[in-house]
Structure 1
Amino acid sequence: MTHILVAEDEVNLAQFLELELNYQGYQVSVAYDGLTAMIATQKLQLDLIILDWMIPGLSGWEICHSLRSHANNIPIILLGHKNQLRDDYLDVGADDYLCKPFEVEELLAKVWTHLSKTQQNFLSNKD
């Protein structure tokens, strides 16, 4: 089963995303702070991370930067606010981003797209 980490400190949003992703058939783990999220990336077999840019503890920037500096290629979708520049998200190695507030359908489409790319890469490397 595809495993997604939702790292988001807004409890209502994190729980909503967990419910929506579970409904779509994904296994979901939730972290409400950056340190817990970073530990989860090391202990869990994750297929994708949805990561809040401003999560307390370790920021989304720090987590993304750390994962990419250790050659971890897991897809990362950063969540941030409109006043944040698009390049800020992508410069740290995120695969995609969404500005809050966002439509859940848009997030689900991005999740599906990045998981599909990962699956295609896995299959092509297997040959």
Structure 2
Amino acid sequence: MKMLKRLSALLTAVAIITLTSCQTKKTFSGDAGTFPDMSGMMPVVDITQPTAAPTEASTLAELPADSYKTALTYCVDTDRFSQQKDIDKRIYPASMTKFLTAYTALKYVKPETKFKVGSELDMVQPESSL
């Protein structure tokens, strides 16, 4: 039984390392203030490219009525929240499974334990959504 717990913790830790070492990114383009329907997923805006300063019209644009349960957009140029929708509504984070996986791994594996990721990392494709 103890061996099974250790094996489970090891596999969980490998999964966490693999998931956290793969960068996934969803970007969108279009008119400022419009968000595509991504079935409840919040898009991540590519911040590596410079963008034009937002206009007052784009800053105050309304979110589509049924795109997201909640949303909050912060503009670093104007230092204020430019869009919001049901920001006080209680919902589960999108990565609740990742939190629980990390909790389980930390419960069974010492924090100073080191893991070596092998060639299986090469099987993960760029832009993967593991």
What TM-score do you get using the length of structure 2 for normalisation?
A: 0.30
Higher share of residues assigned helix: 1
Higher share of residues assigned strand: 1
**Higher RCO by CA contacts (8 Å cutoff, separation 6 or greater):** 2
What TM-score do you get using the length of structure 1 for normalisation?
A: 0.31
